[in-house]
Amino acid sequence: MIDSSCDKKRILDELARELAKYKSRKYRIDAQRFHKTKLTQPLVLKAAVVRKIAAMYYRQMKSWPAKEVFDMCELLLESNLEARKSIAFDWAWRRRGDYRKSDFRRFESWGRKHFNGWGSVDHLCTGALGYLVYLYPELTAKTKKWAHSRNIWMRRASAVCLIYSCRRGEQLRDVFQVTDTLLTDKEDLVQKGYGWMLKEAADSNRDKVFAYVMKRKDVMPRTALRYAIEKMPPAMKKRSMAKD
Protein backbone atom coordinates (compact mmCIF):
# COMPACT_ATOMS: atom_id res chain seq x y z
CA MET A 1 0.00 0.00 0.00
CA ILE A 2 1.09 3.56 -0.69
CA ASP A 3 0.88 6.47 1.71
CA SER A 4 -1.46 8.10 -0.79
CA SER A 5 -2.16 11.47 0.78
CA CYS A 6 1.50 12.14 1.51
CA ASP A 7 2.89 10.85 -1.77
CA LYS A 8 0.23 12.51 -3.89
CA LYS A 9 0.78 15.90 -2.32
CA ARG A 10 4.55 15.60 -2.69
CA ILE A 11 4.34 14.62 -6.36
CA LEU A 12 1.84 17.35 -7.16
CA ASP A 13 4.02 19.95 -5.43
CA GLU A 14 7.10 18.77 -7.31
CA LEU A 15 5.18 18.75 -10.56
CA ALA A 16 4.02 22.32 -10.01
CA ARG A 17 7.59 23.45 -9.46
CA GLU A 18 8.73 21.63 -12.58
CA LEU A 19 6.02 23.20 -14.72
CA ALA A 20 7.00 26.62 -13.42
CA LYS A 21 10.39 26.19 -15.10
CA TYR A 22 8.76 26.35 -18.54
CA LYS A 23 7.39 29.88 -18.60
CA SER A 24 9.43 30.96 -21.60
CA ARG A 25 7.64 31.27 -24.95
CA LYS A 26 10.16 28.90 -26.52
CA TYR A 27 8.44 26.04 -24.68
CA ARG A 28 4.91 27.11 -25.64
CA ILE A 29 2.55 27.40 -28.60
CA ASP A 30 -0.27 29.83 -29.28
CA ALA A 31 -3.22 27.48 -28.92
CA GLN A 32 -5.72 30.31 -29.31
CA ARG A 33 -5.14 30.29 -33.07
CA PHE A 34 -6.36 26.71 -33.35
CA HIS A 35 -9.48 26.74 -31.14
CA LYS A 36 -13.00 27.94 -31.79
CA THR A 37 -13.61 28.99 -28.20
CA LYS A 38 -11.71 31.58 -26.21
CA LEU A 39 -9.14 29.87 -24.00
CA THR A 40 -8.24 31.08 -20.53
CA GLN A 41 -4.65 30.00 -21.27
CA PRO A 42 -3.93 30.76 -24.92
CA LEU A 43 -0.25 29.84 -24.54
CA VAL A 44 0.14 26.14 -23.74
CA LEU A 45 3.16 23.88 -23.38
CA LYS A 46 4.44 22.08 -26.44
CA ALA A 47 3.50 18.41 -26.62
CA ALA A 48 7.11 17.25 -26.36
CA VAL A 49 7.56 19.15 -23.10
CA VAL A 50 4.36 17.71 -21.67
CA ARG A 51 5.40 14.14 -22.56
CA LYS A 52 8.80 14.65 -20.96
CA ILE A 53 7.33 15.93 -17.68
CA ALA A 54 4.54 13.33 -17.65
CA ALA A 55 7.05 10.49 -18.07
CA MET A 56 9.34 11.93 -15.39
CA TYR A 57 6.65 11.94 -12.70
CA TYR A 58 4.82 8.81 -13.80
CA ARG A 59 7.91 6.79 -12.91
CA GLN A 60 7.19 7.55 -9.25
CA MET A 61 3.69 6.06 -9.60
CA LYS A 62 4.41 3.12 -11.87
CA SER A 63 3.91 0.56 -9.10
CA TRP A 64 0.69 2.14 -7.85
CA PRO A 65 -2.73 0.53 -8.44
CA ALA A 66 -4.51 2.00 -11.46
CA LYS A 67 -7.17 3.58 -9.26
CA GLU A 68 -4.56 5.60 -7.39
CA VAL A 69 -3.11 6.87 -10.66
CA PHE A 70 -6.58 7.81 -11.93
CA ASP A 71 -7.22 9.64 -8.66
CA MET A 72 -4.04 11.63 -9.31
CA CYS A 73 -5.29 12.41 -12.81
CA GLU A 74 -8.45 13.85 -11.32
CA LEU A 75 -6.48 16.04 -8.93
CA LEU A 76 -4.63 17.47 -11.93
CA LEU A 77 -7.84 17.95 -13.91
CA GLU A 78 -9.41 19.92 -11.06
CA SER A 79 -6.88 22.71 -11.65
CA ASN A 80 -8.27 23.23 -15.17
CA LEU A 81 -4.77 24.17 -16.36
CA GLU A 82 -4.03 22.94 -19.87
CA ALA A 83 -0.58 21.48 -19.12
CA ARG A 84 -1.88 19.55 -16.11
CA LYS A 85 -4.84 18.31 -18.11
CA SER A 86 -2.50 16.97 -20.79
CA ILE A 87 -0.37 15.23 -18.18
CA ALA A 88 -3.47 13.65 -16.63
CA PHE A 89 -4.55 12.21 -19.99
CA ASP A 90 -0.99 10.99 -20.58
CA TRP A 91 -0.90 9.18 -17.24
CA ALA A 92 -4.28 7.58 -17.90
CA TRP A 93 -3.00 6.24 -21.22
CA ARG A 94 0.05 4.72 -19.53
CA ARG A 95 -2.24 2.50 -17.40
CA ARG A 96 -4.09 1.02 -20.39
CA GLY A 97 -2.95 -2.48 -19.44
CA ASP A 98 -5.17 -2.24 -16.35
CA TYR A 99 -8.34 -0.86 -17.93
CA ARG A 100 -11.70 -2.28 -16.97
CA LYS A 101 -15.02 -1.69 -18.64
CA SER A 102 -16.18 0.20 -15.54
CA ASP A 103 -13.50 2.86 -16.20
CA PHE A 104 -15.70 4.25 -18.96
CA ARG A 105 -17.82 6.22 -16.52
CA ARG A 106 -14.75 7.96 -15.13
CA PHE A 107 -13.27 8.77 -18.55
CA GLU A 108 -16.60 10.02 -19.86
CA SER A 109 -16.95 12.35 -16.87
CA TRP A 110 -13.50 13.76 -17.62
CA GLY A 111 -14.65 14.63 -21.11
CA ARG A 112 -17.91 16.24 -20.04
CA LYS A 113 -16.17 18.36 -17.41
CA HIS A 114 -12.86 19.18 -19.05
CA PHE A 115 -13.15 19.21 -22.85
CA ASN A 116 -12.70 22.82 -23.92
CA GLY A 117 -11.17 22.50 -27.38
CA TRP A 118 -10.21 19.97 -30.01
CA GLY A 119 -6.81 19.40 -28.39
CA SER A 120 -8.22 17.99 -25.15
CA VAL A 121 -10.82 15.96 -27.07
CA ASP A 122 -8.23 14.39 -29.34
CA HIS A 123 -5.74 13.67 -26.56
CA LEU A 124 -8.18 11.66 -24.44
CA CYS A 125 -10.17 10.14 -27.31
CA THR A 126 -7.30 8.85 -29.43
CA GLY A 127 -5.58 7.67 -26.26
CA ALA A 128 -7.20 6.31 -23.11
CA LEU A 129 -10.84 6.55 -24.10
CA GLY A 130 -10.31 5.29 -27.63
CA TYR A 131 -8.35 2.29 -26.36
CA LEU A 132 -11.07 1.47 -23.83
CA VAL A 133 -13.72 1.53 -26.57
CA TYR A 134 -11.50 -0.71 -28.70
CA LEU A 135 -11.20 -3.20 -25.81
CA TYR A 136 -14.95 -3.12 -25.15
CA PRO A 137 -16.75 -2.32 -28.44
CA GLU A 138 -20.12 -2.58 -26.71
CA LEU A 139 -19.30 0.78 -25.09
CA THR A 140 -19.84 2.37 -28.50
CA ALA A 141 -23.57 2.30 -27.80
CA LYS A 142 -22.83 4.93 -25.14
CA THR A 143 -20.41 7.05 -27.19
CA LYS A 144 -22.86 7.20 -30.11
CA LYS A 145 -25.21 9.17 -27.88
CA TRP A 146 -22.62 11.96 -27.72
CA ALA A 147 -23.26 12.66 -31.41
CA HIS A 148 -26.61 14.15 -30.36
CA SER A 149 -25.12 16.37 -27.65
CA ARG A 150 -25.50 20.15 -27.66
CA ASN A 151 -21.83 20.30 -26.68
CA ILE A 152 -19.62 20.64 -29.76
CA TRP A 153 -16.73 18.82 -28.07
CA MET A 154 -18.80 15.79 -27.12
CA ARG A 155 -20.06 15.59 -30.70
CA ARG A 156 -16.48 15.64 -31.97
CA ALA A 157 -15.57 13.05 -29.31
CA SER A 158 -18.25 10.66 -30.62
CA ALA A 159 -16.21 10.36 -33.82
CA VAL A 160 -12.65 10.74 -32.57
CA CYS A 161 -13.03 8.02 -29.91
CA LEU A 162 -13.43 5.49 -32.76
CA ILE A 163 -10.16 6.41 -34.46
CA TYR A 164 -8.12 3.93 -32.39
CA SER A 165 -10.40 1.16 -33.65
CA CYS A 166 -10.40 2.55 -37.21
CA ARG A 167 -6.63 2.30 -37.39
CA ARG A 168 -6.99 -1.41 -36.69
CA GLY A 169 -9.71 -2.01 -39.24
CA GLU A 170 -12.43 -2.41 -36.62
CA GLN A 171 -15.93 -0.98 -36.00
CA LEU A 172 -16.64 0.23 -39.54
CA ARG A 173 -20.38 -0.12 -39.05
CA ASP A 174 -20.20 2.12 -35.99
CA VAL A 175 -18.10 4.63 -37.95
CA PHE A 176 -20.81 4.93 -40.59
CA GLN A 177 -23.58 5.21 -38.00
CA VAL A 178 -21.82 8.04 -36.17
CA THR A 179 -21.13 9.80 -39.46
CA ASP A 180 -24.80 9.54 -40.43
CA THR A 181 -25.70 11.36 -37.22
CA LEU A 182 -23.04 14.07 -37.62
CA LEU A 183 -23.27 14.35 -41.40
CA THR A 184 -24.73 17.86 -41.66
CA ASP A 185 -23.37 19.27 -38.40
CA LYS A 186 -22.72 23.01 -38.83
CA GLU A 187 -19.52 23.11 -36.76
CA ASP A 188 -16.38 22.70 -38.85
CA LEU A 189 -14.45 21.08 -35.98
CA VAL A 190 -17.11 18.38 -35.80
CA GLN A 191 -16.96 17.98 -39.57
CA LYS A 192 -13.18 17.65 -39.38
CA GLY A 193 -13.54 15.13 -36.55
CA TYR A 194 -15.74 12.71 -38.45
CA GLY A 195 -13.86 13.36 -41.69
CA TRP A 196 -10.67 12.35 -39.90
CA MET A 197 -12.41 9.21 -38.61
CA LEU A 198 -13.46 8.26 -42.16
CA LYS A 199 -9.92 8.90 -43.45
CA GLU A 200 -8.48 6.52 -40.86
CA ALA A 201 -11.15 3.91 -41.60
CA ALA A 202 -10.31 4.14 -45.31
CA ASP A 203 -6.79 2.87 -44.71
CA SER A 204 -8.15 -0.67 -44.31
CA ASN A 205 -11.62 -0.29 -45.84
CA ARG A 206 -11.01 2.11 -48.71
CA ASP A 207 -13.64 0.81 -51.13
CA LYS A 208 -16.38 0.71 -48.50
CA VAL A 209 -15.57 4.21 -47.27
CA PHE A 210 -15.43 5.49 -50.84
CA ALA A 211 -18.83 3.97 -51.62
CA TYR A 212 -20.24 5.51 -48.45
CA VAL A 213 -18.86 8.94 -49.32
CA MET A 214 -20.12 8.79 -52.91
CA LYS A 215 -23.69 8.20 -51.73
CA ARG A 216 -23.55 11.23 -49.43
CA LYS A 217 -21.17 13.63 -51.13
CA ASP A 218 -23.95 15.96 -52.22
CA VAL A 219 -24.96 16.66 -48.63
CA MET A 220 -21.66 16.09 -46.83
CA PRO A 221 -19.93 19.42 -46.09
CA ARG A 222 -16.86 19.93 -48.26
CA THR A 223 -14.66 20.24 -45.18
CA ALA A 224 -15.57 16.74 -44.01
CA LEU A 225 -15.38 15.37 -47.54
CA ARG A 226 -11.85 16.64 -48.10
CA TYR A 227 -10.68 15.08 -44.85
CA ALA A 228 -12.34 11.74 -45.63
CA ILE A 229 -10.74 11.34 -49.08
CA GLU A 230 -7.37 12.89 -48.25
CA LYS A 231 -5.36 9.67 -48.68
CA MET A 232 -7.38 8.16 -51.52
CA PRO A 233 -5.98 7.80 -55.07
CA PRO A 234 -6.32 10.88 -57.34
CA ALA A 235 -9.06 9.27 -59.45
CA MET A 236 -11.21 8.60 -56.40
CA LYS A 237 -10.63 12.11 -55.11
CA LYS A 238 -11.70 13.57 -58.43
CA ARG A 239 -14.91 11.54 -58.51
CA SER A 240 -15.70 12.43 -54.90
CA MET A 241 -15.24 16.15 -55.41
CA ALA A 242 -17.08 16.33 -58.76
CA LYS A 243 -20.41 18.07 -58.64
CA ASP A 244 -23.04 16.03 -60.46
Residues paired with 45 in a beta bridge: 28
Name the DSSP class of 39.
P
The pLDDT confidence band at residue 1, using thresholds 50, 70 and 90, is very low
The pLDDT score that the predictor gives to residue 50 is: 87
- pLDDT band at 188; cut points 50, 70, 90: very high
Local confidence band at 184 (pLDDT 50, 70, 90 cut-offs): very high
Q: For residue 35, is pLDDT > 80?
A: no
Show me where the domains of the chain are located.
1-98, 100-244
**What average pLDDT does this structure show over 135-151?**
98
Is the pTM above the cut of 0.75?
A: yes
Q: Compute the average pLDDT of residues 178-198.
A: 98
Residue range 137-152: mean pLDDT, rounded: 98
pLDDT at 41: 53
Q: What is the dihedral of CA 101, 169, 140, 154, to 10 degrees?
A: 110
5-27: per-residue pLDDT in tens?
Answer: 668 889 999 998 988 887 756 65
Containing H/E element for 229?
none
CATH of 100-244, one of 3.40.50.300, 3.90.1300.10, 1.25.10.90, 3.30.360.10: 1.25.10.90
Higher pLDDT, 34 or 121: 121
> Rounded mean pLDDT of the chain?
90
